Structure 1
Amino acid sequence: MVLVAFLWAICFPFIVVGLPDAPPLLFAALRALLAGLCLILLAFTKGGRPSYSLRQLLILAAIGFSYTGMGLGGMFLGAGKLGPGLATVLANAQPLFAAVLSFFIVREVVTGRVFVGLLIGFIGVVVLAMPEMEFGNARFSGAVYVLGGAIGTAIGNVLLKYQAGSDDIYWSMGIQLVIGSVFLGIASVSLGEGF
């Protein structure tokens, strides 16, 4: 779990390093496509073959749009305006959004202990982000992008939980990443991003 937290935390510094050389949505699309193809290759080497119903594919498309499209799109658009530290702090509001969505979508009960932890986390995000929240500032729009990405990631996490156990995680994550990369690619082209 520490490795996962570490990899998540260093994501924004790597994004900031790459942004001067690539437009944000195209950069996010290529990152998602590469990651998705790697996971699909890994799934193939494990020997399984995907078999999804139309309903499951639609859920994967929704996950791809929210988790990858909105999540990575918000991260990549916001990171260049905020800087990696604040972007990481704001992105970690995602569990707060996921807890609320889980309550309504999968009827997950939030215990008192979890609620206190979420409340402390929320207060921490607000306290750390408050000095940077100046209206009319590029940093504010960056914060909106990152928080929008956190909401997208939360929606994707809840949908993944909803679909949990229905198939191999490598296939599900790989396919949703590829689908999400298509959404990001379309957004990049629509906004006229170029190298």
Structure 2
Amino acid sequence: MKLTSMQKKNILLLLFLVIVWGVNWPLSKIALAYAPPLLFAGIRTLIGGVLLILLALPRWKSLRFKELWPIYLVSAILSIVFYYGFQTIGLQYVPAGLFSSIVFLQPVLLGIFSWMWLGESMYALKIAGLLLGFIGVASLSVGGFTGSISGWGILLALASALSWAFGTIYMKLRSARVDTLWMTAMQITIGGLILTLSGSVTERWGDILWNGAFIADTLFISIFVIAMGWVVYFKLINEGEAGKVGSFTFLIPLISIGTSVVFLKEQITLNLVIGLLLIVCSIVLVNVKFGRSAKLSAN
């Protein structure tokens, strides 16, 4: 089957998204050695939001802030404040591997919610693929299952996954009313302001070590991971099936672990190989229809 130019473009965008969101985890781990968590989350998000506002200024008439601010606020709370906030706090209570495996229950939740509220197709192989992807992520993260496990940490990880899934569904439902670029810029900026204010109250600005490594790390995350990453994510969600796009996010922990091996000298394990195979199978099952499943979804 020959790919169209749009399909090729979307594949490249997906590759970009998976790579930059994958390297975000080890880069964030490095940056947290120089700054408190909430302030770091707020700074990187706020910078990304301001950059997007500058990019969106030529189409400022599409902002319609007085009319659309409730949508911007709800989206900011779900996709930015809750997602990053629960994530930052929860990592203090449970091992990172376990936490990330629970957070990446999100594609499974997104697939189910997209079927329930967006009318996207659902069939047995797709369900199997989503579950297989989650098992693959769990396999990647099994090394993090050691150590004390807090019930609060588990709940915060689930809350992070739910907020990400709900935020994506909310964005898809409201996409016809808003300009995608302004929606992304506003939710990130508002979320960044809330996170920065929260960090200013609970943490100390004096604890930030403004060295070259921290500044370069923060700017990379702000520009590529947050500003460009969220724009690409919501563009793909708006133009395609949310469940299918979500299935590719199963690759993010794989990229994260791979870059951690290179930059943080972590080891390659059998779990990594098993997880990779399961994730690849998952993406195939979710995105390719076979036989009877194709006929059922077409009806």
Structure 2 match to 1:60: 72
**Equivalent-residue separation in structure 2 for 1:132 and 1:34 (angstroms):** 31
**Residue type matched to 2:171 in 1?**
L
Specify every segment of 5 or more residues in structure 2 that has no aligned partner in the other structure, as ranges. 1-13, 208-299
Q: Is the counterpart of residue 179 in structure 1 residue 181 in structure 2?
A: no
Selected match of 1:32 from 40, 45, 52? 45
Q: Sequence identity of aligned pairs in percent?
A: 26
Structure 2 match to 1:193: 203
**Equivalent-residue separation in structure 2 for 1:6 and 1:87 (angstroms):** 20
- Greater Rg over alpha carbons, structure: 2
Q: CA RMSD in A?
A: 2.9
Q: Is 1:37–1:174's contact at 8 Å kept on the other side of the alignment? A: yes
Counterparts in 2 of 1:173 and 1:24: CA distance versus 1, 3 Å: same
Structure 1 match to 2:230: none
Counterparts in 2 of 1:49 and 1:161: CA distance versus 1, 3 Å: closer
Shift of 1:6: 0.2
Structure 1 match to 2:124: 112
Secondary structure of the structure 2 residue equivalent to 1:20: coil
Bigger CA drift: 2-11 or 159-168? 159-168
Counterparts in 2 of 1:133 and 1:143: CA distance versus 1, 3 Å: farther
What is the total number of aligned residue pairs between the two structures? 191
Q: Is 1:15–1:76's contact at 8 Å kept on the other side of the alignment? A: no
Selected match of 1:76 from 80, 88, 104? 88
Selected match of 1:165 from 173, 176, 180? 176
Trace 1:93-132 onto structure 2 (pairs within 5 A): 93-132=105-144
**Equivalent-residue separation in structure 2 for 1:127 and 1:76 (angstroms):** 22
Structure 2 match to 1:152: 163
**Equivalent-residue separation in structure 1 for 2:47 and 2:100 (angstroms):** 22
Shift of 1:78: 4.8
Counterparts in 2 of 1:76 and 1:15: CA distance versus 1, 3 Å: farther
**Residue type matched to 2:32 in 1?**
L
TM-score by length of 1: 0.80
Shift of 1:9: 0.3
